[in-house]
Amino acid sequence: MRLKLLLLIFGLSFTITVSAQHTGKIMTVTGPVEPSELGMIMPHEHVLVDFIGADSISKDRYAREDVVELVQPYLSDLKEAGGHTLIECTPNYLGRDPLLLQTLAKNTGVQLLTNTGYYGDEAGKYLPDHVYSESAEQIAKRWQNEWDYGIGERSVRPGFIKMRVDQSPISDTGRKLLEAAAIVHKNSGLTIGVHTPNGETALEQIEILEANGVSPSAFIWIHAQNEDDSSIHIEAARRGAWVELDGIGAGSAEYHLQFLLDIKEAGLLDHVLISQDAGWYRVGEPNGAPEKFTPYTYLINSFIPMLKEHGFTSGEIEQLTVTNPQRAFTISKRVIES
């Protein structure tokens, strides 16, 4: 927590904000916790998404109580199946709602994380206008303020940085967002997760972060399954990055399994995250489109048994679902010393 000290010197008031020490913790929407308290973690899921665009997005487009009514039973099912923590990856200007997440966490007992950062798709639909006129330092200050002072009316702190960066070669805007993320990581220790279209872009992102003094171990390659060549997954993992194979479901289980077998053979399971990219309440569709909601339990109930059938040990499964995500999201400054 932060301490605010009010000093009175020569009749003048100065407010000094002192950031508490969160290194070694994981920041949930209800506060910092020890990594060991998070149990089985789903590192990439969604509760609510709104694709209307940054110029039109508003929390007036839905009622929180309607979202709670739809989503809460799915989170309770996750908890009953053995899942303890869900990392909510919806960024700002795409439907991020920390207050909603806090309510769901308190109602269900599932730990939830939210994020800071921007979703820089190629068309820029989900980016606020100030991204184009501000420097990386100015953007970083906005994200840093969310870490220092919290988001919204209850000052919920982000647990990581979530971004999207377009295809390689990375655009000037994408590079600026990565530079902003590097600044915030070096100040806060928050992990940087980037929605990434392919392996070439992932490797370029790693190079940009390294050039800005951030170790690949602070980087999560989100949607790594979009890259068909597992040798690039292995290269990224050897460089220290987190390779996230999300989107796991009944139609993709065998595809994901083969990636995991390849990475296991390379001895790099300690750099892999697995998740479903499931959910979610769809703002703008009738009642949030409950018929499209994907439960959060496939990975636990179906994919993990598949891993066991293909020779994955209990220790390896615990590594993928507990140890690795704990390490990936623990607040820690992972920098390259100059």
Express each pLDDT in 177-210 by its tens digit. 999 999 999 999 999 999 999 999 999 999 999 9
Q: Write down the pLDDT at residue 16.
A: 30
Q: Write down the pLDDT at residue 122.
A: 79
**pLDDT at position 9 over 90:** no
pLDDT band per the 50, 70, 90 thresholds, residue 5: very low
Q: Write down the pLDDT at residue 153.
A: 79
- What lies within 8 Å, CB to CB, of 297 at 6+ separation is 77, 78, 81, 83
Q: Is 31 helix (H, G, I), strand (E, B) or coil?
A: strand
**pLDDT at position 3 over 60:** no
Q: Write down the pLDDT at residue 13.
A: 33
**164-173, 218-227, 281-290, 321-330: which has the minimum mean pLDDT?**
164-173
Q: Write down the pLDDT at residue 173.
A: 96
> Is-contact 163 222, C-beta < 8 A?
no
Helix axes 172-188, 136-149, angle to 10 degrees: 40
Portion of the chain with pLDDT greater than 70, in percent: 94
Question: What pLDDT digit, counting tens, does each position of 98-132 carry?
Answer: 999 999 999 999 999 999 999 998 789 999 999 99
Q: Rounded distance, CA 84 to CA 76, Å?
A: 10
Q: Write down the pLDDT at residue 20.
A: 46
Distances (CA, A) of 45 to 86, 246, 280: 7, 9, 8
Q: Rounded distance, CA 328 to CA 191, Å?
A: 7
pLDDT band per the 50, 70, 90 thresholds, residue 25: very high
Q: Write down the pLDDT at residue 162.
A: 98
pLDDT band per the 50, 70, 90 thresholds, residue 164: very high
**pLDDT at position 2 over 70:** no
Please report which helix (H) or strand (E) contains residue 129, including its range: none
> Is-contact 216 244, C-beta < 8 A?
no
Q: Write down the pLDDT at residue 52.
A: 97
**pLDDT at position 172 over 60:** yes
Of 68, 69, 78, residue with least CA distance to 45: 78
Q: Rounded distance, CA 202 to CA 121, Å?
A: 15
**17-21, 37-41, 147-151: which has the minimum mean pLDDT?**
17-21
Provide the terminal-to-terminal Cα distance of the chain, rounded to the nearest Å: 31
Q: Rounded distance, CA 141 to CA 19, Å?
A: 15
Q: Write down the pLDDT at residue 123.
A: 87
Mean pLDDT of the chain, nearest integer:
93
pLDDT band per the 50, 70, 90 thresholds, residue 87: very high
CA 117 and chain centroid, separation: 10
Sheet of strand 41-45, all strands in order from the earlier edge strand to the far edge? 41-45, 85-88, 111-113
- What lies within 8 Å, CB to CB, of 207 at 6+ separation is none
pLDDT band per the 50, 70, 90 thresholds, residue 154: confident
Q: Write down the pLDDT at residue 8.
A: 31
Q: If you average pLDDT over residues 255-259, what whole number do you get? A: 98
Q: Is the pTM of this model over 0.85?
A: yes
Q: Write down the pLDDT at residue 221.
A: 98
Distances (CA, A) of 188 to 101, 102, 133, 146, 331: 22, 22, 24, 11, 8
